[in-house]
Amino acid sequence: MAKIMKAPGKDIQAANELDNLGKHVKNMGTKFLVIISKRNYGEIGSRIQSSLEENGYTCDFEMFGGECSLEEIDRLAAAGREKACDSVIAVGGGKAIDTGKAVAVRMDTTVIVVPTIASNDAPCSGLSVCYNDQGVVCKVIYGKRNPDVVLVDTEIIAKSPVRLFVSGMGDALSTYFEARACQASGARNYCRGTAPNTAIAMAKLCFDLLMKSGVEAYEAVQKGEVTSAVEDIAEADILLSGVGFESGGLAAAHAINDGFAQIPQAHGALHGEKVAFGTLCQLILEKAPAEEFDQVFQFCKAVGLPTKLADLGITEVKEEEIKAAAAAACVKTQSTKNLPFPVSEEDVAAAIYKADEIGRARA
């Protein structure tokens, strides 16, 4: 299999960079469809409009409905066509960004992504995960290429809710370990190839930046301050983790995160929180050196990522639920199979119990 990687056309990151958006969209379009939530529309929307107009462009706004569904994508694409827009700007969190990327696919235009939180891997990837009315994944839409521009304004990220920022670190925490597992097994990444060394190096840098700057960034974001640590973590969470998962591949951590969908008690937990706990489980499955496990565990403790089931909302541990989660993490289509050794449902359940036991013992 060929080594293949994908990345955004341009990745731009700085405090207050949103006010320069219009300078970064040359040749991308002339009239932009801005997909944005009502909450972001006021201040962020007007800054986007000013910067575009200063640079000779126009835009039209469409409010994002809140879910990345096929109906929402069709509605926004129809609105974009009707308004004769020739490019899309997607503003917000993972769902708004995934929706905007899919709308650009439908309209066959360029897409500019402006994340307002650093809580997940959506901004840099070339795919959109769509959900049905029941909140279940129903389709993945792949773009011809990854976003043309990703613009990260770290001033906005630093003032986002702390829990979302921490969740982004949880999502980024798994990137290296999952890419490493895929490299060892030769598993396919999300570019229909295997990971080039470049993607593995990016995944490793992602982990190293978390270890170096994660705790400091956590403290800065509590005060809403942009520091060099916050810049490091924004880069790790958005660029390195985004490229790292798509081009490196996923393994048990994300599969276990998906498995937790089977446990209603965990429904309040965020994606990155479940992925962080899934990372601890993956390290147990891999029989990783104690030193490595401890480093990840201590990091989770230091920034408030889950280390035991109760932290995910699972206060009443039921055997049948853990069994269902482990089974869901091991179905054929799941990435647990990307580990470089065979893993059974029983192995995954045992790893979940073991991680929980360690977390409770060291609480």
Site residues (CB under 5 A) for Zn ion?
121, 171
Q: Which is nearer to Zn ion, 168 or 359 (CB)?
A: 168
Q: Give the H/E segment covering residue 12.
A: strand 10-14
The C-alpha atoms of residue 262 and residue 323 are separated, in whole angstroms, by 9
- Residue with smaller CB distance to Zn ion, 114 or 173: 173
Cβ contact 120:93 at 8 Å: yes
Smallest gap from residue 120 Cβ to Zn ion (A): 6
Residue closer to Zn ion, measured from CB, 62 or 121: 121
Query: Under a CB-based contact definition with an 8 Å cutoff, are residues 175 and 248 in contact?
Result: yes
Task: Give the whole-angstrom CA distance, residue 284 versus residue 85.
Answer: 50
115 closest CA partner among 274, 277, 241, 276: 241
Instruction: Show the 3-state SS of 68-132.
Output: CCHHHHHHHHHHHHHCCCCEEEEEECHHHHHHHHHHHHHHCCEEEEEECCCCCCCCCCCEEEEEC
CB 127 to Zn ion: min, Å: 12
Which residue's entry shows tokens 């295997």?
194
- How far is residue 159's CA from residue 100's CA, in Å, rounded to a whole number? 23
Between CA 320 and CA 326 the distance in angstroms is 10
Classified as helix, coil or strand, 224 is coil
Pick 171 or 321: Cβ nearer Zn ion = 171
**Nearer CB in complex with Zn ion: 85/200:** 200
169's CB contacts (< 8 A; 6+ apart) are 210, 214, 217, 218, 233, 236, 237, 272, 276, 303, 305
- 159, burial (CB in 10 Å: exposed 0-12, middle 13-18, buried 19+): middle
Q: How far is the CB of 242 from Zn ion (least distance, A)?
A: 9
* Residue 227 beta carbon to Zn ion: minimum distance, rounded to whole angstroms: 25
Q: In the numeric block, which tokens belong to residue 157?
A: 């990220």
Query: Both tokens of residue 179?
Result: 């890419």
Comparing CB distances to Zn ion, the nearer of 36 and 253 is 253
Rank residues 273 and 356 by Cβ distance to Zn ion and give the closer one: 273
Closest CB 19 distance from Zn ion, rounded Å = 30
Q: Least CB distance from residue 338 to Zn ion, whole Å?
A: 14
Least gap, CB of 336 to Zn ion (angstroms): 15
Rank residues 190 and 297 by Cβ distance to Zn ion and give the closer one.
Answer: 190
Nearest residue to Zn ion by CB is 171
Rounded to a whole number of angstroms, the minimum distance from the CB of residue 129 to Zn ion is 10
Q: Which is nearer to Zn ion, 166 or 226 (CB)?
A: 166
Least Å distance, CB 189 to Zn ion, is 14
